[in-house]
Each structure stands twice: as structure tokens, then as C-alpha cells.
Amino acid sequence: MKTSYIFLATGFEEIEAVTPIDILRRAGMNVKTVSVNPDSLKVTGAHGVTYIADIRMEQVSSSDADWLILPGGMPGASNLYGCEALRQMLHDHAAAGGNIAAICASPAVVLGQMGLLKGRRATCYPGFEQQCADAVYLPEAVVTDGNIITGRGPATATPFALAIAAASQGKEKAAEVASGMLYDLSDAD
């Protein structure tokens, strides 16, 4: 089974990381958290909660990656963008048609600045649209365009994660997970 990686950088939005971790694991996906902080598995989020990632950046192999997932938050998104190894991995994964998901500031600050959203439909946190200038910006909760899924912000973490689960495990599995969480999928439309 391929692995989905959720990248954590100092200042990440906690709910945008923890919600996908939980939902994707409920959907039966293999998920690992990755610290982009040099020499440390500890990563402190935007609201002062410190997490211990499963692995460090240098331990990631994109050859077995299902999804590369970027939570937002500031300065978390800027710190993700500042990781050269992550940018190279995203570039290579995108070039190979691999799956990428980003939420909140990360669609703009990371994917937008890298040119990975050029000509694609996408969303991001309000106020960051300028950095998605080459994208077709949609002010929606979640936008799927082929192999790229973007989410708008913290309140959209659940439908964002369910969209990833549906893309990987099928809509029925995502609906099953949503039902078990008492989440009404019709609210996401």
C-alpha cells in the first residue's frame, strides 16, 4: 500500500493536519506525518501545540507516495515553501502526475508560488488569492482538479480530508467514514 505524507512545519494549522490524519486513517489509508524541521521530529503548530512527527523529511520516499498533503497556517505554509527538499519532491511528484493536496494558505504560498496551479481550478484562504494568480480561483470549501485537491481553511478540513479519501478509496468509503463521524456529506455541497 502506498503512503500518504502530511508535511508539518513550525506554525502549521493544527486542525488542517490532524483532521486529514484521522479521516484518512479511518478510510484505511497509510498516513505518515513528516517533520520538515532539520534534525527534529518535534513540530509546534500555529496555536502552540507541539506534535511529534512519524518521520523526518530525509526519510520520505516519493516513489511510494500516494498523496503529498500540505496543511496551511502561517508561518507554517511559508516554512513549508522554505524547505527546498519538499519543493523538489512536489515538483517531481506533480511532473509524474502524482496526487497533491493543500489547504488554507498552502495552495497559494506553496503550490501557487511554484506554478503548480497554473491553469487549474483551486481555492485557498481568503486574502491569498494573489499568489494563485495563474490558477482559476474558486471561493469554494474544496476544489478538486484532476490530481490536485485544495481546501479553503480550518473549517473545511473535514470535507478536504473526505475529498482525498474519496479520490483514493472511492466515494462509498468516504461516505462510510463521514457517516461514522456523524458528518452529513450534503453539508459539503
Catalytic residues: 104
- DSSP track, the chain: --EEEEEE-TT--HHHHHHHHHHHHHTT-EEEEEE-STT-SEEE-TTS-EEE-SEEGGG--GGGEEEEEE---TTHHHHHHT-HHHHHHHHHHHHTT-EEEEETTHIIIIIIHHTTTTTSEE--STT-GGGGTTSEE--SSEEEETTEEEE-SGGGHHHHHHHHHHHHH-HHHHHHHHHHTT--GGGG-
Grid coordinates belonging to 126: 481568503
Grid coordinates belonging to 43: 513540530
Pairing of strands 148-151, 142-145: antiparallel
Please, is 61 exposed, middle or buried when counting C-beta atoms within 10 Å of its C-beta (0-12, 13-18, 19+)?
A: exposed
